[in-house]
A and B are shown apart, each in its own frame.
Chain A
Amino acid sequence: MTVLSNTQQRDQRIRDLLTKYPHKFDIDMAAIDLREMARNLPQEIIPSVSITAAVNSVLGEPKVLRLSVDPRHLRIPKFAWVPMDDVSINPIFQRDISPSHVRAIEAKFQSDMIIVPCAIKDPITGKYLLWDGNHTRQVCDRMGWTHLPVWYTEADTDSFNDMVEAAKVLKRKAGESFLVINKTGKRPVDRYNEHMISVECDIHKSVMVQNIVNANNCQVKRRGNNPGDITHIANLYNAYELTQASTGIQGIYLSRSLRFHRATWPMEEIGGVMMLAMARLYEITERSTGVLLPPEFDVEFGDMLKNLYGFSGAVYGDDNHGLKGAFIAHFGSIGNIPQAITSGLILTYLKHGTQGFKLGAPEDSFPVK
């Protein structure tokens, strides 16, 4: 009998799961692409059981049988609308309160859009001591709420010799919970999800960025696998924010940069730095010459870069290659990478260009190929 390694078993589980879905999606330890997975399902709504199956394909079957535990029979957590003055803070398991953070969430406050705070119920004072959601409590208090919704746990007083011991155990639990929620168990929203959620929620700037991406036959992805995939969301927005001086419009240079990439390297993903550097090249040039470079420039420059360097990633290079390598060879290290690459691109055209397009001045000067 063939013995499969853990990795082989995981590969097999993932393969088996994916056979059930006509539209394939990425599954690995770091992330399961739910947006792509949803395309397989009616109304693109994924049932919990399907997500569990996908997670299990990576992690293996859980030790507890699915749907075998009814948590309503457990003692925790409980829910209550707690009078505001029965809510307290024990600073042992709470961080400082930040008025500026209170102001930030207060500005966006909606009564149906709050995360329910979590607490322990102090067996001695009867107060609800929050270990998560203190800023939410503060905003609700400033909004005049009489009660606060709270998930809470309380000690089984029969299990302890006295209230002090029970309080001690609860405090330890609250401290552990605080750290897990706010540090070890926290998965911050990454730029990819931030962008996708913003687009779907019609946040203006993100919709504008997405429209430009779509118009240039590109797509924002968590991981770049296909031609036109954009994964560097920070630089996507940085490129979008470059503003045309004459009109005050944003996005023009991003659009030109994406069009340049798709025309020059149609089989490649969009390199984040190259995307921003090309947008900067157009912006610097128009600012200093008053002229937006014509499409003929793109053709000449694209051919030049392909002949000199090859694929887009080779133009950017690394510590030893391409424009980044040339910058490091000259200056010893690299600071502002987009600025360095923009300069390298301009210097390359100045050295090899034959059609005489006038470009803006490079911000750095160093020998290029």
Chain B
Amino acid sequence: MKLKKDYVLYLRKCPGVETPRHFKVGITQLSSAHIRLATYQNSVGPVWSESFLRVWVGDELHIRRAESLFKRTFKDKILSKSAGLSEWICDISLQELVDFAEELRRAYSIKFIDVPAKFEPLSIPMCEELVAWYTQLKTEENNLTEIK
């Protein structure tokens, strides 16, 4: 079997907005999260610092499913399907989205985990440490499974 890819589910806000009401839900491979952040950083320049406000990690299949359910559930709050806008959930609170992420795990049996608070918001320099943390966690889990 090919290696399963670790993925990140993230929520972003518009840079510079203090009390955001619009959030972009997105996914990226964990190992290249820093590249995704750099792409966003490039578009806002040196004035703002880009970051992912909230971050969850898991297996690609589950993270992709979570993303599609976010988009489906909040379809009415995505105001356009046009490029660059189709992932922005508008006029909503961060808490509502975080609650939905919790519901995905509880009611939809989708498996992904919170990252430690120190990784949020996630900025480019923290990505390497996040990868190391998750790799360590998975290694420990695998060892546990083997012992069982």
Instruction: Answer yes or no: do A and B interact.
Output: yes
The answer to whether B72 touches A225, judged by C-beta atoms less than 8 angstroms apart, is yes
> Nearest chain B CB to A263's CB is how many angstroms away?
12
Within 8 A of B (CB), among A305-359: 306, 310-314, 317-322, 325-326, 328-329
> Nearest chain A CB to B1's CB is how many angstroms away?
4
User: Per-residue 0/1 for A12-45: is the Cβ within 8 Å of any B Cβ (1 yes, 0 no)?
Assistant: 0000000000000000000000000000000000
**A311–B68 alpha-carbon span in the complex (Å):** 13
> Nearest chain A CB to B66's CB is how many angstroms away?
10
**A314–B109 alpha-carbon span in the complex (Å):** 10
Interface check B110, CB cutoff 8 A: yes
> Nearest chain B CB to A257's CB is how many angstroms away?
18
Interface majority SS on B: helix, strand, loop or mixed?
A: loop
Interface check A11, CB cutoff 8 A: yes
**A3–B85 alpha-carbon span in the complex (Å):** 15
Closest to B68 in A: A313
The answer to whether B2 touches A7, judged by C-beta atoms less than 8 angstroms apart, is no
Contact of A310 among B3, B79, B109 (CB under 8 A): B109
**A320–B110 alpha-carbon span in the complex (Å):** 17
Interface check B137, CB cutoff 8 A: no
* Complex contacts, A313 vs chain B, CB 8 Å: 61, 65
**A266–B109 alpha-carbon span in the complex (Å):** 10
**A318–B61 alpha-carbon span in the complex (Å):** 8
Contact of A7 among B59, B62, B81 (CB under 8 A): B81
The answer to whether A311 touches B81, judged by C-beta atoms less than 8 angstroms apart, is no
What is the interface size of chain B, counting residues whose CB is below 8 A from a CB of the partner?
A: 21
The answer to whether A11 touches B4, judged by C-beta atoms less than 8 angstroms apart, is no
Within 8 A of A (CB), among B100-148: 107-111
Interface centre among B60, B61, B109, B111 (most CB of A within 10 A): B109
Interface residues on A, range: 20 to 34
The answer to whether A319 touches B2, judged by C-beta atoms less than 8 angstroms apart, is yes
Closest to B81 in A: A11
Known A8-B80, A311-B108; contact A320-B62, beta-carbon cutoff 8 A = no
* Complex contacts, A225 vs chain B, CB 8 Å: 72
Interface check B43, CB cutoff 8 A: no
> Nearest chain A CB to B83's CB is how many angstroms away?
8
Interface check A114, CB cutoff 8 A: no
> Nearest chain B CB to A346's CB is how many angstroms away?
20
The answer to whether A314 touches B2, judged by C-beta atoms less than 8 angstroms apart, is no
**A311–B59 alpha-carbon span in the complex (Å):** 12
Interface check A267, CB cutoff 8 A: yes
> Nearest chain B CB to A341's CB is how many angstroms away?
15
Closest to B5 in A: A320
**A127–B62 alpha-carbon span in the complex (Å):** 65
* Complex contacts, A306 vs chain B, CB 8 Å: 109
Residues of A within 8 A of B (CB): 5, 7-8, 11, 225, 265-268, 306, 310-314, 317-322, 325-326, 328-329
A–B complex contacts, Cβ < 8 Å, 22 sampled: A5-B82, A7-B80, A7-B82, A8-B80, A8-B82, A11-B79, A11-B82, A265-B109, A306-B109, A310-B110, A310-B111, A311-B65, A314-B61, A314-B109, A314-B110, A319-B2, A320-B1, A320-B2, A320-B3, A321-B60, A326-B1, A329-B1
Residues of B within 8 A of A (CB): 1-4, 59-62, 65, 72, 79-83, 85, 107-111
Known: A5-B83, A11-B79, A314-B65. 4 other contacts (CB 8 A): A8-B85, A265-B109, A312-B109, A314-B61
